[in-house]
Structure 1
Amino acid sequence: MTDDLYERGMATRRAVLGDAHVDASLAAATDFTGEIQEYVTRNCWGDVWNRPGLTRQERSLINLAMMASLNRGHEFKVHVRGAVNNGVTRDQIKEVLMQVGFYAGGPAALEAFRLAAEVLDAMETA
């Protein structure tokens, strides 16, 4: 099912995460997981990511802090790439993760630093 909110969400999702990631996510969707892909595209990317009040950079930094704090490694790595696509710098990512270290704990920050370095290094060599 597509509609204006879905289409706006798809455009934002592709702009932030890149076509390759979105295409892979959609290609992997099954009868069981297809509806969650539509839901996320419409409600997260179409609505929340397009609300006024925060820039895409600010939303990316918030996502990094939340994903690191919740120890959601896969999504954290996806959003590191998205943050860079949104113009977030390596130093800004480092500062967010330093704050995670204090508020969410050392193990969460150490894992996030490891994952972020993995993504950032791969992006630099690509």
Structure 2
Amino acid sequence: MVLKDELYTAGIEQRRHMFGQAGAEDQTDHTTPLNDKIQDFVTRYCFGDIWQRPELSKSDRSKVTFAMLVATGKPHETRIHARGALANGVSALELREIAVHAALYCGIPTAVEALQALDEVFTEKGVTLEPLAESAGEAR
């Protein structure tokens, strides 16, 4: 039995906002003895505590999280958090720029993998980047 205190409630609401029911209740209500502790930890402390801190906006937290997942080579979580970032108001163009920026600091293969993840998520969500706004402010 999971204790549904204030942290848990805030965490499940944050997960639902970012990932829908599939990333919230479908994860937490269908745990096993193998993954029950990690799901509780993620809900309560990751999304119920850290994601609720007011010092960074939700969109800024999403940008930072996406960048860290790209940098550490976590493609599955990169895809999940690309979806969450879109839900938190991060634009497709901002996500693309984070992936491109990763080429400088993490290497081209890392950036390519991040762009492949974004391509999958953008296709799934019906998101397009046309026309692309470049740094000079001109559309392609």
Aligned length: 125
Find the counterpart in structure 1 of residue 88 from structure 2: 86
Q: Whole-Å Cα distance in 2 between the matches of residues 21 and 48 of structure 1?
A: 17
Q: Whole-Å Cα distance in 1 between the matches of residues 16 and 121 of structure 2?
A: 18
Q: Which runs of 5+ in 2 are unaligned?
A: 128-140
Find the counterpart in structure 2 of residue 71 from structure 1: 73
Report the TM-score when normalising by structure 2. 0.84
Q: Whole-Å Cα distance in 2 between the matches of residues 21 and 3 of structure 1?
A: 19
Find the counterpart in structure 2 of residue 6 from structure 1: 8
Please identify runs of 4+ aligned residues in structure 1 that moved more than 6 A: none
- Greater relative contact order structure (CA < 8 Å, 6+ sep): 1
**Mapping for residues 6-45 of structure 1, pairs under 5 Å:** 6-45=8-47
Find the counterpart in structure 1 of residue 113 from structure 2: 111
The structure that has the greater radius of gyration is 2
Q: Supply the RMSD in Å over aligned alpha carbons.
A: 1.3
Letter in 1 for 2:58: R
Percent identity, please: 34
Report the TM-score when normalising by structure 1. 0.93
Q: Whole-Å Cα distance in 2 between the matches of residues 110 and 92 of structure 1?
A: 16
Shift of 1:119: 0.7
